[in-house]
Amino acid sequence: MTHGKLQWLRRATAALSLGVTLSLMAPPSLMAASVKKKPVAAQKAKVQAASKARVVAARAKRTAKAAVVQAKASASRPQSGKGRRAAVIAAKSAAVAGGGLAAASAVSASERKHEAASGADGLPKLSANAVFVMDQNSREVLVSKNDKAVMPIASLTKLMTGLLVADAKLSLDEEITITEDDLDIYKGTGSRLSVGTKLTRGEAMHLALMSSENRAAHALGRTYPGGIVNFVRLMNAKAAELGMRDTRYVEPTGLSVENRSSARDLALLVAAAYQRPLLREFSTSQGYSVESGRRVLQYHNSNRLTADPNWDIGLQKTGYISEAGRCMVMSAKLAGRQVIMVFLDAADKSSRIGDAQRVRRYVESVVSADAIERMAMRKG
């Protein structure tokens, strides 16, 4: 190596050593300055992103809750099945778009509440020509079908007969006698209570409400203070007092086709009758026996659901004449709710029982869906 090159190499090595030494001697703050500036900017950006995310999440939550409210309102309003499904789908889409998965679950619960029913409009398919179902306490209408149609009501009449006798506080131990005046002049039906049979007013009332005994019911009206004419007048006055504007009575048994009412009116009668413990007891009794001369007559409830342990029936009455079809009213506890059910003009006994079973399943599905919806709302 030449002398010139050696000198150049020595100078370069010295310069390099001096640079390393100076860098090692520099204060740490100066060394980190350029590095520190970059993490501060990144941290600031991260904070801003998190803040923006919280704002978006809050907005999504509000959107989701609004969607649930809209879905619930849409599902509860009377409308066609197609319209209800469209409203639920739209609300569910809004909930999902807003990021509310819990809200979407609540919308699904509202949807299932109606899909659980078999009808295209979300309600149970019922055979009776007129139906009215409502919550007895809140008066919320749960099911309605031709509920304002006025038609014959057959032995549902006897519920008003029992209501008047109960409210008059007449002696239930007073003995009354079946006479020829109590015979059926409308349909010519018979009875095991032959003319001359003696029974107490309480027994007559029991048989009229539990087994729909026509002669017993007529005897209750006939022996009422003022006689049968006054009794019928008071039946109509009581109907007006209860707000039963579509109701008219002409006799106390229901054998006349002129005894007419609507399903909605009869729900008011059931609500009033339920307040009388005696009517609840007599109408839901399983069986009763009375002495008629040397015979003991055994009677049974005309509504077989009262013997079903799966039902909790507080009051009931059945009825039938050919013009009225098979009729039934009940107040029963369904899924924790006291529910009034009115069925008019069903084809046969099995049809009206089937209608009651379908309404029960529907009400239970509604209550179940509401519970799921409330749970989803709380979690949301």
At 145, which helix (H) or strand (E)?
strand 141-145
Cα–Cα distances in angstroms (integers) from residue 194 to residues 200, 222, 314, in the given order = 15, 16, 31
- Show contacts of 119-123: CB within 8 Å, 24+ apart: 119/81, 120/81, 121/80, 121/81, 121/84, 122/81, 122/84, 123/362
Q: Is 155 a catalytic residue?
A: yes
Residue 115 burial by Cβ neighbours in a 10 Å radius (0-12, 13-18, 19+): middle
Other CB atoms within 10 Å distance of the CB of residue 289: 11
CB 343 within 8 A of CB 146: no
Q: Is 158 a catalytic residue?
A: yes
Question: Among 74, 155, 211, 302, which one carries the catalytic annotation?
Answer: 155
Query: Which residues on neighbouring strands pair with residue 261, listed in sequence order?
Result: 151
Question: Among 113, 158, 238, 317, which one carries the catalytic annotation?
Answer: 158
CB 178 within 8 A of CB 219: yes
Question: Among 212, 302, 331, 365, which one carries the catalytic annotation?
Answer: 212
CB 249 within 8 A of CB 239: yes
Kindly provide the b/e burial profile for residues 323-334, where b requires at least 16 CB atoms within 10 angstroms of the residue's own CB: ebbbbbbbbbeb
- Phi and psi angles of residue 134, each rounded to the nearest 5 degrees, phi first: -145, 155
Which one-letter DSSP state was computed for residue 99? T
Which one-letter DSSP state was computed for residue 252? S
Cα–Cα distance for residue pair 155/328, rounded to 1 Å:
9
Q: Is 17 a catalytic residue?
A: no
**Annotated catalytic sites, by residue?**
155, 158, 212
